Every structure is written in structure tokens, then in C-alpha cells.
Amino acid sequence: MKVAVVGATGLVGGVMLKVLEERNFPCDELLAVATEKSVGSRVRFRGNDVTVIGMESAIAARPDIALFSAGGGTSLEWAPRFAEAGCTVIDNSSAWRMQPDKKLIVPEINGPDLTPQDRIIANPNCSTIQMVLALAPLHKAFGVERVIVSTYQSVTGTGAKAVKQMENERDGVEGEMAYPFVIDRNVIPRCDVFTENGYTKEEMKLVLETKKILDPAIRVTATAVRVPVTGGHSEAVNVEFAKEYDMDDVRRLLREAPGVALLDDPAKDEYPMPLIANGRDEVFVGRLRRDETQPRTLNMWIVADNLRKGAATNAVQIAELLIRKGLLKGVPA
């Protein structure tokens, strides 16, 4: 098993390497891949230094799987070339997510949809993954009709440059800015760029990806906000169902849902926070309560580490599923 991590020197790429190690992924040879400016540098994997190589060298090495986290433009240019060389690509950018012929996969929800013909597989947006993972069992039981979501997103979602900006501001150091405003002791009601309808791309990802993964009939409206924390994204989610629900059933369904951790005991101050989610793969759900302003509606609070389940872990889980199902060309199950 030969695995390429494309974007290995980036924030998500580094977490991909860590997750591959932690999960003891069956990797006989790791190819650390990045743009030309990083070629020749080294990354650590399983206690060894691995020299970073370029795209052409990686394709020539013919990896079985390539985990991409190198930006949409890079994915559009290079993912098809890796696929043409017999590699299955799992891409973390937004490049392929809404392409009609590409699967958008959260393994616990629609992993069974994968086939041997899927050579480029899209990893959903971090905010989408955590929300749909919590919504999926409730949608199956009660039918989600409408979702109103407000996100509180970690600076790690922007990347290392944003983390450095926040650290510099806290230390009183001038430095490069990832945002047009100070982020420390501030919140910025903008994630990604604005689109013609007044929503940001991040907000529209939540709308469109939720429909593609769960159900095109679900109505979603979103507000995405950047907050000065690391460790994970948080979401306040208001869900309207087609059927009436019972709170005990909601808690049971979430408790039993794969990948979900129910943390919902306000009397003991037990509820999800980035501090708890940091470095973990579960999607934490709590603050469950009935919306008293209209029928069949639930309020919930969802938190997950956006670099792990929101990106790297979900990609590695897709790769694991491909192996278990025997969907990789020339690789036995």
C-alpha cells in the first residue's frame, strides 16, 4: 500500500500524517508531496524523516491512494492526473464537492455509496461534516425539513497564517495578517469570500453540501463566523422536523450514532466546547432543548475538531472504507 499525502507540509496535511499513524493505517510507503517551494524539506512519519517530493515525482511513483489537502486550484489541476495513473484521490478542497459525478462522502452516512469507479472522492467541508453527522440519525427518524445554523469557527480553519496572526496579537507582536481585521478579542462575521447573494462561500457550502449528503429537500440557511479560538468549530443548530419527536428518543439516537458523542448535562455544566473536542475525532452534541416558539423544532449545539473529523480523519476513514470494501484497484480487501 503506497499512500501519498498531497499538501503534507500544510496544517491539515500534518494532521493527516498524524491520523494515519494513530489509526495504524496499512501504509507500506508514504509519499509526502507538496509544491515546488517545499520540495526537499522533511516531515515526520512513524518516527522517520520523509523527504518531500513534487507532483510529477509522486505520480511517477504510482500511489494507491492520494489524500489531497493542497487547495482547490491544485486539486483541479492534479487530482485527475493522479487518477489517470491508477490512484484513488480523496480530496479535502471544495474543488469537486458539488460536481454531479463526484461522491461527497461522510463514511458513517453515505460510505456504502462508494464504488470501484470512484477515482476522485470529495471530502465535505469541516462545518458540514459535523452538522450532518449529528443530523443524519434524526433525519432518518423524524425527517429534517429546515435547518438554521450559526457557526463559531476556529482560526485553524483558515490555516497556519491565521493561527500565527492570533498568537502575534496576543503577544503584542506585529506580523502578517490572514484576516482584514484583528481576530484576537474579536469575532468576524465572514468565513471565506462573499457571493452575489450576500452569503459567504462557507455559508453556501453548508447549504449545498447538506442537501447533497442528506436530502436535497432540506432547507438550510447559515451564518458563518470566525472566532478567536483553536481546537474546533462550534455550531448552534435549529432543526425543524416533519414529524413530532420525543426528547428521550433524540438523546438515544444521538447516543447510538456512530461518530457522535452526546455531552448533554447542563446541571453539571457538561456540554460541548472546542477545549473538549480538540485532538479528538468525535462530533460532540449537547444543549439539546425543544424550541418553544414553534412545533417539531429542536435546538442543539455541535462541536468538533475541524482539522480532524472535519478534514483529516474523515479523509482517512474514507480510505479505510475503500480498503475494507475492496474498492482499490490492485489492493486486496
Looking at the annotation, which residues are catalytic?
126, 233
Q: Phi and psi dihedrals of 214, rounded to 5? A: -100, -55
Contact (Cβ atoms closer than 8 angstroms) between residue 291 and residue 298: yes
* Cβ count within 10 A of residue 136: 23
Is 323 strand, coil or helix? helix
81, β-bridge pairs: none
283-290 and 297-304 strand pairing = antiparallel
Is 188 strand, coil or helix? strand
50-71 burial, b at 16+ Cβ within 10 Å, e below that, comes to bebbebeebbeeebbbbbbbbb
> C-alpha angle 63/128/5, rounded to 5°?
15
